[in-house]
Amino acid sequence: MSNDQRYLPILGYGEKMIEPVTPRSGFGDPTFPRTYAEARDRVKKQISDLRRVVDTIPEEKRMKEVIVTVRLNHKFLAKSYTPNTLFREFNIENVGSRRWLYPEEGTETIQYSKMHFVKSTIQNLSRIEHYLDRSETSLTESFRKDVQKIEEISLLTPEEIVVGFDDDWTNGKVEMVLHPFDEEMDAAIEKFKRILLANGVEEDSLRIKSYNGGPTFISANMNRQALQAINDFNPLRTTHPLRINAFPEMRTISIVPNAPHPAPGKFRSRIKVGMFDGGVDETNPLLINHVNVNEVINTPPIPEGIAHGTAVAGCILYGPLNSYNQGSTVQQPMVSVESFRVLPLHNPMDFELYEAIDIIEDVVPSRDDIQVYNLSFGPSGPILDDDISRFTYVLDQLAWNYRKLFVVAVGNDGNLPSPYNRIQSPSDLVNGLGVGAFSYDYSTGEIIRASYSCVGQGREGCKVKPDFTAFGGDENRPIHLISLNHGHKHLSMGTSFAAPIIAGMAGEILGRCDRFNPLVARALLIHSATNPNGVCHEFGYGYIDQNVDQILNCTDKHVTLVYSSSIMPTHFAKLPIPFPLNARDAGMVDISYTIAVLSKANPLHVEDYTESAIEDTFYPHDQKHRYTRNGQTVVKHEIEDASEIEALLAQGWQKSTLPASRSTNSYQTEQARRGELKWDTVVHRWDRMRSTSLRNPFIVLHGLGRNSGSDRMDYAVIVTISAPRYQGSLYEDILSEYRALEPIQMRTVNEILVPIQ
């Protein structure tokens, strides 16, 4: 067997090499758009106007405290610029935030900024007015700066509350979100209900779910009259339509009588993948022994639900059945399925799926034996930037609290015009995988996005969506699925079947490598995606057409390693990249890395939905440093340029603390961070450089926290070094030189499978 054919497991224990590192100085305040005197006069007038407007709000549409928007100038997006001194001084509570687009004064430029939702009494608003009459010298610097950051203080307009409705919308399911009101929350809900009921909303259509310290989600069957009646209800944050298609249509192309035979013997995998769907046909020969049915709802199943769930379960177990012909035998599944039928619901009008979400919230915490769950159903209709659905928030919260991985289909409306072709909730979750579908060009065989597969971008915290695509089929080359007609295959297409392929792979990765957690599996799958054109809104990070063995394998010239650790906000960590010192003649070298972070999500701050993220900087050569003076910068090699460096230092040049970085400056404005996806929970980078440019390369990670988030954040980093011209075995030389690394230990098939009595 040649070296390239040897099975070389990817390398683990990269976290043993992690070192602390000294941070550099940060970024100063931006230039304020107005002097304090100008800002003071502007804010005073706005508060005076605001108080008059608040006085006109009817008692039935407000609470003792009112929700006010404090809209900041676009230069002050970062968490550190939140006007907390102003809020504290006047006992104003910050209860959320979201994006705000506005025309910059005196120009036609539309600026991207943020509005904070704050809760205040009329008396406290009056106190601010009086306080602003004080002399400038008597005020603290932090207070003066807070006033200078403000662009506008006002109420939400009806157009900002009611979003996503077409002009011809007359009635339908609607989801509404109320701001948190603590002990007054029940009273706020009651006031809101009275308005709804008085305007034709049936009480039995109402669904209400409150989260402690968080938003309250309310759904109902609504008409246009009720919608207009609530658009100025002060505690209301947002309202959007719900377009539900609980079972994505199985676009049947044909049913063919050539299903493969089950694997011989009676064995079942120890590795469990959870599935929330419409149930399964547990009598199907291909599912017997491999699916366990959990009773969580007592409604009678319906045929289309069983057909959908059976096909999804088959994809988890076997992937597409396209390679199996009549008379062939499937391979023994490396996972088993735990099926939770959550559809249909008790109330046929419960289109918003609140009952299904309730079941998911109950099941996930109770099942320590399941790490991965698949969801191939949900609301239809594109996600909205200014709104988080309850479904998305629940999955992100469960993923954070219980360290689970949710794999979600992105939806099948990709062939609609923009923006209706955008991904659908809950695939916009930031702590899981949103999976699209690819197919093959009929004439060239090239991998292409399946036309129906919804596209990105995602929301803040996960702008790259879908995360990647898997095979979902199309009319020309459909995906082959398990059919309700035993002995037959169901030929169809859909993201519903691409997602469970990935869920099965994630489960297998976790089961075969007992040191890995769901975050590592998520990072590995994203890292393994192929996209020749880089990151895009159709494929995300690419497509996956590999099996698990290929993902977990290295070659002599192509080495992948895993780091799994945690970091606190504001802290830094140095991750050495193993590259042998004798590799200077290796020619061109490709280095790629993927970082995945598990972040607490905050549904009150839609614009800052992720509480934490990681900023990364790549340093390729530890002997090349930057030297700066008066805004000038040069890079010099410590040994080769020693005499020049001595002269520079004598002239007052300053040497950088860390070597010269290959990536962009890590300390940028908040807007630049957003542009480069710095607050996303996934980072993917790649670079190609000469081996002579590499010496003890490393990545520095910087933990970022916002919205008072101070939780330790878990992260996984996958690094691949590829050097086709390396003389010898890069794999063996890395193991020899970096003794902390070890090949991952994988369970054998016999360890995974257990006999069934």
Nearest CA-CA partner of 511 in 247, 744, 733, 259: 744
**What percent of the chain has a predicted confidence (pLDDT) above 90?**
70
Report which of 529, 523, 482, 521 is spatially closest to residue 504, judged by C-alpha positions: 521
On the question of pLDDT at 24 being above 60, the answer is: no
- 643-652 pLDDT tens trace: 999 999 999 9
Residue 416 has pLDDT above 90, yes or no: yes
Interval 107-118: pLDDT, tens: 878 888 889 999
Nearest CA among 129, 149, 126 for reference residue 71:
149
> In this predicted structure, what is the pLDDT of residue 28?
57
What is the average per-residue pLDDT within 439-458?
A: 94
In the prediction, which pLDDT does 112 show? 84
Task: Give every strand in the sheet of 742-743, ordered side by side.
Answer: 682-690, 588-598, 713-722, 558-567, 11-12, 742-743
The answer to whether residues 627 and 651 touch, using CB atoms and an 8 Å cutoff, is: no
At residue 668 the predicted structure's pLDDT band, cuts being 50, 70 and 90, is very low
Summarize the confidence of residues 174-182 as an average pLDDT: 93
Q: Is the pLDDT of residue 246 over 80?
A: no
Give the length of the chain: 757
Kind and range of the H or E element at 242?
A: strand 236-245
Give the H or E element holding residue 241: strand 236-245
**Amino acid identity at 443:** S
Residues with Cβ within 8 Å of 37's Cβ and at least 6 positions away in sequence, in order, are 136
From residue 282, how far is each of 202, 288, 292 by CA, in Å?
39, 6, 8
- pLDDT, one tens digit per residue, over 697-740 is 999 999 988 765 567 889 999 999 999 999 999 999 999 999 99
Give the Cα separation of 401 and 381 in Å (integer). 28
pLDDT attached to residue 5: 60
Residue 673: band (very low, low, confident or very high) from pLDDT cuts 50, 70, 90: low
What is the C-alpha to C-alpha distance for residues 470 and 453, in angstroms, rounded to an integer? 10
Average pLDDT of the residues in 239-264: 82
Tokens standing for 656? 């950088």
Token pair of 540 as six digits:
């995300």
* Rounded-to-integer distance, Cα 220 and Cα 209, Å: 12
Say if residue 385's pLDDT is above 60.
Answer: yes
b/e burial code for range 342-361 (CB count within 10 A of at least 16 → b): bbbbeeeebbbbbbbbebbe
How would residue 585 be classed by pLDDT, with cut points 50, 70 and 90? confident
Rounded alpha-carbon distances, angstroms, from residue 610 to 249, 364, 405, 431, 599: 33, 22, 17, 9, 6
* Nearby residues of 150 by Cβ (< 8 Å), 6 or more positions away: 39, 42, 43, 70, 71, 72, 73, 83
The CA-atom distances, in angstroms, between 603 and each of 189, 410, 606 are 18, 20, 6
Give the residue, 61 or 609, on which the prediction is more confident: 61
Cβ proximity of 237 and 177 under 8 Å: yes
* The pLDDT value given to residue 80: 75
- Structure-block tokens of residue 731: 């794999």
Measured over the CA atoms of residue 622, residue 627, residue 632 and residue 636, the dihedral's sign is: negative
Confidence of residue 404 (pLDDT cuts 50, 70, 90): very high
Omega of the bond leading into 419 within 30 degrees of 0 (cis): yes
User: For 20-34, 141-155, 299-313, 503-517, which range has the lowest pLDDT when averaged over its residues?
Assistant: 20-34
Please check the confidence at residue 44 and state whether its pLDDT lies above 90: yes
Q: Which residue shows structure tokens 């860390």?
A: 658
Q: Which domains does the chain have, with CATH numbers?
A: 3-25+555-621+660-743 (2.60.120.380), 36-157 (3.30.70), 163-230 (3.30.1370), 254-551 (3.40.50.200)
Decide: 466 and 502 in contact? Cβ < 8 Å.
no
Q: What is the mean pLDDT of residues 164-193?
A: 92
Distance CA 629, CA 642 (A): 18
Longest pairwise C-alpha distance within the chain: 89
pLDDT band with cut points at 50, 70 and 90 for residue 349? low
**More confident call, 521 vs 660:** 521
Model confidence band, residue 664 (pLDDT cutoffs 50, 70, 90): very low
Which residue(s) pair with 540 in the sheet? 536
The closest alpha carbon to 588, from 689, 738, 719, belongs to 689
| Beta carbons within 8 Å of 366's beta carbon, 6+ residues apart | none
How high is the mean pLDDT of the chain? 90
What is the predicted pLDDT for the residue at 208? 93
User: Which among 141, 29, 143 has a CA at the least distance from the CA of 76?
Assistant: 29
Checking if the pLDDT of 679 tops 90, the result is: no
At residue 666, the pLDDT reads 31
Distances (CA, A) of 5 to 1, 730, 750: 6, 15, 23
Give the pLDDT score at 435: 98
Q: DSSP characters for 108-174? A: -PEEEEEEEEEEE-HHHHHHHHHHTTS-GGGS-HHHHHHHHHEEEEEPPPHHHHB-S--TT--EEEE
Nearest to 305 by CA among 335, 287, 280, 338: 280
Q: What is the pLDDT of residues 486-507, one digit of tens each?
A: 999 999 999 999 999 999 999 9
How sure is the predictor about 542, in pLDDT bands with cuts at 50, 70 and 90?
Answer: very high
- Tally of CA atoms within 13 A in the half-sphere of 133 that contains its CB: 5
First-residue to last-residue Cα distance in the chain? 39
Q: Where residue 667 falls among pLDDT bands split at 50, 70, 90?
A: very low
- Beta bridge mates, 208: 218
Instruction: Yes or no: say if 501 and 512 are a contact pair by the CB < 8 Å rule.
Output: no
SS3 per residue for 546-595: CCHHHHCEECCCEEEEEEEEEECCCCEEEEECCCCCCCCCCCEEEEEEEE
Whether residue 188 has pLDDT greater than 80: yes
Q: Model confidence over 287-345: pLDDT tens digits? A: 999 999 999 999 999 999 999 999 999 999 999 999 998 889 999 999 999 999 999 88
Is pLDDT at 272 greater than 70 in this prediction?
yes
Q: Which two tokens stand for residue 343?
A: 């559809």
Query: What pLDDT sits at residue 520?
Result: 98
| pLDDT at position 77 | 80
